Every structure is written in structure tokens, then in C-alpha cells.
Amino acid sequence: MGLSTLTFNFLFLPAAMLIFYVCPQKYKNGVLTVFSLLFYVMNDLRSLPLLLCSMLFDYLVCAKMVRSTSQMKRRRILFWVSVLKNIGLMIAAMAMFELDKRSIPLGLMVYTVTSLGYVIDVYNGDERFDGSIVDYLLFTSFFGKLYAGPIVQYSDLKAQWEQRDLSAEKIKQGIRFYVSGLARLTILAAGSISVQSAIRDIPSGEETVLSVWALIISSTFALYYTLTGYCDMARGIACFFGMEFPENFHHPFQSRTVSDFFNRFNISVTKFINRYVYIFLGADTNGVLPTIVNTLLITMLMGLWFGLRLNYLVWGVYFTVFILLEKYFLMKYLEKLPPLVDRIYTFIIVMFSFTIFSGSSLHQTGYYLRSMFGLNSLPLFNNRISYIISTNYMVILLDFFFATSLAVLTGRLIREKFPKLADTFSAAAYLGVFIASVSFMI
């Protein structure tokens, strides 16, 4: 019962909202916690003990650290045991996925990183441990954000729980996020995955230059719209229950620099790594060599977020090269160029990075790169790839269109030109998109 299923959209979510809205304020977090655990049971029952044991362990560590303020050695031991437990859990899960093809437990990366950040903050005195196990479980494992985040701070949610915004405007905002995310998942991501699968099914010996280009593009958009779909739905679901989650992707494919791309792509994870690793290591204040090493570590960690694979590490190294080039050489030239030129430059760099990301090995990535530039003696195109593109061109065009801010700008222009009709038009548009998304689920 994933977020893009009929059961979730027409049974689970309405039931959760109904019970949440009718129950008293003091029980609302308890209701959401119960529904989050129920969601986990319905999707990954076998991994539920792992979630509960891991979160309970971190909860008890925080409780012990708070009670041991005068025993610094004990606090330090508890802290590092929790940190190593969380890091080890993520590494073990990713290793089993890569080596044994076992699926990673639902939400493990999200709830582990969320809990790890909280333990660090409690240890440093940046967060207050209030002792509520219900609030802690809701913070780490809320069902709306289990699939792809975003990563949130406990203090931010705590403030929102104390003054819940359950206004009609917040519900409308939630609907916009939710429908947008659902459409990205069921139409754009699913369409891109379909194109990707069709190209991968092309028999060996029938590949073309165009088929390799199309594979990289479809693979890139499949990943992007899957992640943004889940994150937008999470933001929408949060709004339904009086919470607000941060934006996790802000049109990264129209960034003006590679550094800007990193600030727009998987934003909450980037902020987490910057806060707990980059700043801890001294950021860029200790000279050129430490800055290079720190930047390399951060980009490699961003790659490892997606799994323990050499290609993901190289993906991070690839970005390090351009980030450092911009920092020490290119930025003074990029700032003088028209925004369109900057964006084309960044888009090309980013798209080529996904030849590394999409390859199952560096050897395969090398094959992709050689093929894309006609160095493998492949034909430019053939009937098979022409058929795939001709039958899926609309998905490809929509992928490019919604990767930009054109849809947002168009909506803003309509609201400025026709303010009286804007709400009616918006409601009709979102209803149509929701119906279209549901039709793809059937």
C-alpha cells in the first residue's frame, strides 16, 4: 500500500484524516503515530521490529544523556554508541541490497538519519529532550515522509504541534502539494520508467546512439520524479495534519552553477550533511587543501545516500571537480554570462553526471559515454528506438517541461491576469490532474 495506490488514497488517508480531525488536540499526535505504525505494518511488517528497536534505543540514549549531564564520559560513550549504531545500520542495509539484492527496509534511511540528527543535537544541547515517546516516534517515522523524506528537525515540528494550523488555506496548500506529487509519481516517473525499461529491453547489438541518450535522459527523470513525487506528497500530507515540511527539490535542472544544483537537489539531505559533517570538519575556513578534502567528502556522502556502489562515489567525485573549479576559477566568468547560458552549462554537466549514476559499473558508464558520442560504431538510430520515442514523446516533453519552473510561472501569470477566475481555474486544474493520476493507478 504505497502512497500512489488506490487503497492509500481512498481508504487509509481519508480514515487517518477523519479520526485525526474528530479527536481532541492532546490525542492528535497519538493518532498519527498509530497510523504511521499501521502504515508500516501494511507495507513492511517484517522490518517493523527493526524500526521500533532502533528508535527505542536512540530514545533511551537521549534520556540517559539528559540524566548524565555531570558524567561526561558516560554521555560520550552513549552518544558514540548511538551514532555508530545508526551509521552501521545504514551501511549494512545498503550492503545487503547491493550484494544480496535484499530490499532496504521501508524508510530506513529517512528514520535513521532523522534520529541520528536528533541524538547529535541533544548531545550538543541544540535540542531539548522532552521525554515523549509518542512525539519521538511521530517525528522519526511519520508515514508521509518514510519513502524519501524530507529530513526534518524536531524543534520545528514541536513548534507546529503546539500551534497546529488546520485552516482551509493550509488544506488547499496541502492539496496542491499532494496532487502535484501524485502526478509526478503516477504519470511522469512511471512514464519515464516505462521508457527506460523499453530501452533496456532492446536486444544486444541493436543499440544506437539515440537509444543510449534516451536511456540516460529517461533514467535521470525517472529518479528525479520519483523523489520529487514522494517529497511533494509528503509535504501535502503534512499540511493535512497541520504541519509544514521543507522543500526538498527546487527546480535543480535550471540551476545556474553546479554548486547551485547541489543546493537545490535533495535539499534536506544536503543541509543535514553540511550541518553535521561539513561544518564539523571546518567547512572552507582552514585553507585550500582542507576545503578540497571536505568538499570531496560531502559530495561522496551525497552519492552514498543512494547506495553503496562505486558509481555513486564517482558521481560525487565528478561533482567535486566542478564545484571546486567554480569556486576557484570559473565563478568570475559564470557571473558575467547571461542566465540562460549558465543554465545550459549546468544542465549539460548535470545530465552527463547521470551517465555515471545510471551505470551499474564504471565499465558500463564508459560504454554509455563512448556510445553517446558515436565512438562504439553504433548507428545513429533504428526502427526500434524510433518507435519507442514516437510512442512516448509526450512523456519526454512533459519531463522536460515540469523540470523547469514554467508551470509555476504560468500559474502565477494566470493569477495576475485573471485574479477572479484564478481559484476556479486552479481547482478545476488540480481536480483534472488528480483524476488523471488516479486513472494511471487503475
In a domain, 103, yes or no: yes
Mean pLDDT is lowest, of 126-135, 416-425, 427-436, for 416-425
Residues 6+ apart with CB under 8 A from 16: 31, 32, 35
Residue 432 lies in a domain: no
Cell of 236: 501535502
Residues 70 and 208 in one domain: no
List the alpha helices (DSSP H) in 105-256. Answer: 108-124, 133-141, 154-162, 168-183, 190-200, 209-240
Q: Give the model's pLDDT for residue 283.
A: 59
CA atoms within 13 A on the CB side of 400: 8
- Is pLDDT above 70 for 61? yes
Q: Average pLDDT, whole number, for the chain? A: 90
Residue 14: CB atoms within 10 Å: 11
* 156 and 234 both lie in a single domain: no
- Tell me how far CA of residue 300 lies from CA of 66, 147, 220, in angstroms: 33, 22, 19
Per-residue pLDDT, 189: 96
Q: Which of 129, 164, 199 is the last residue of a domain?
A: 164
Q: Per-residue pLDDT tens for 224-256?
A: 999 999 999 999 999 999 999 999 999 999 998
Residues 208, 336 within the same domain: yes
> How far apart are alpha carbons 120 and 132 in whole angstroms?
18
Residues 156 and 242 in one domain: no
Nearest to 261 by CA among 357, 332, 350: 350
Domain assignment of residue 294, yes or no: no
Residues 157 and 183 both lie in one domain: no
Q: Which three cell numbers stand for residue 431?
A: 481536480
Cell numbers for 273: 550533511
User: Is residue 392 in some structural domain?
Assistant: yes
307 domain residue, yes or no: no
Domain that holds residue 12: 6-164
* Grid cell in block for residue 138: 511521530
Q: How far apart are CA 146 and CA 164, in angstroms?
A: 21
Distance, CA of 299 to CA of 285 (rounded, Å): 18
pLDDT digits (tens, 9 = 90+) for 308-340: 888 899 998 899 899 888 888 888 888 888 888
Structural domains counted in the chain: 2
Q: At 31, which amino acid appears? A: V
Residue 428 included in any domain: no
Concatenated DSSP letters for 373-419?
A: TTTT---S--HHHHHHHHHHHHHHHHHHHHTSSHHHHHHHHHHHH-H
**Does residue 181 fall inside a structural domain?**
yes
Task: Using alpha carbons, select from 263, 255, 270 the residue that is nearest to residue 341.
Answer: 255
Same domain, 25 and 133: yes
At 185, which amino acid appears? Answer: L
- Same-domain check for residues 18 and 149: yes
CA–CA–CA angle 249, 254, 257 (5° rounding): 100
pLDDT of residue 66: 87
Same domain, 133 and 197: no
Closest CA to 189 of 412, 398, 38: 398
Written as nine digits, the cell of 79 is: 552518544
Angle between helices 339-358 and 209-240 (to 10 degrees): 100
Residue-level pLDDT at 179: 96
**Of 337, 303, 307, the residue nearest 320 (C-alpha):** 303
pLDDT for res 277: 80
Its pTM surpasses 0.85: yes
